[in-house]
Amino acid sequence: MSLIPTDAPTQLPRHRHGLSRGTVRASQEMRVLEATAAVVAEKGYAGTSVNAIIENAGISRKTFYELYANKEEAFLGAYAAIDIVIERMTAAAAAEHEPREMVRAGAREYLETLAAEPDFTRMLVVEAVGAGPRVLERRAEAFRDFTRVLALPLEDPPDRALLLALLGAINELVLQHVIEREAASLPALTPTVNDLIDRICFPRG
């Protein structure tokens, strides 16, 4: 899964191998995070159990608890994928030169990244809201990072509350789209998102 950066193999050999303990552990952790996203996307956060994550990941209960204390910890580990999304948005914006195109490029990258990762998209956008106070705190931190990405190209950025309102509007569009349609078609929201960006970030443009 591209939102979990690691060079570890996705599957470990069943026979004896020369892989280091660190490589084995990285592979197991990657599988747990992918499994967490997949199970949460299918069952919702409330319906997700450690047993379901273990079964999906193909690991032992002992291995799971060596990595994470409970499903909340595993969810937070998987939610860290949001940092990769933000990095990609920042890089996409930096590849442009005109402020409007920079903001639009960041938003477009957001939609395209989510479109390519349906399980993580449902986890990040839909299920995080009801996953408890620690996850909500982590989500708020991510939204603060998002506002910085949006404001970076702007000489006179809007009030932070307006940028949060813009993010909330984009997030709600994504949420409704994912509920009603396939995540793969999220880039279809680009014209609407661009219109929102123009209205809030470039009102005199």
Find the radius of gyration of the CA atoms of the chain: 19
When divided into structural domains, the chain yields a total of 2
156 and 65 housed in the same domain: no
Residue 47 lies in a domain: yes
Alpha-carbon span 154 to 175, nearest angstrom: 27
85 and 184 housed in the same domain: yes
pLDDT in tens, the chain (205 residues): 455 655 544 554 454 455 566 666 778 889 999 999 999 999 999 999 999 999 999 999 999 999 999 999 999 999 998 999 999 999 999 999 999 999 999 999 999 999 999 999 999 899 998 889 999 999 999 999 989 888 888 888 888 899 999 999 999 999 999 999 999 999 999 999 999 999 999 887 6
Domain boundary among 55, 78, 101: 78
| Widest CA span in the chain | 66
pTM as predicted: 0.84
Give, in order, the Cα–Cα distances in Å from 136 to each of 31, 73, 189. 24, 13, 25
Domain boundary among 78, 98, 116: 78
- Domain range spanning residue 50? 21-78
Give, in order, the Cα–Cα distances in Å from 116 to each of 75, 112, 122, 164, 165. 20, 6, 12, 24, 25
- What's the CATH number where 32 sits? 1.10.10.60
pLDDT of amino acid 4: 60
Cβ within 8 Å of residue 24, ≥6 positions away: 8, 12
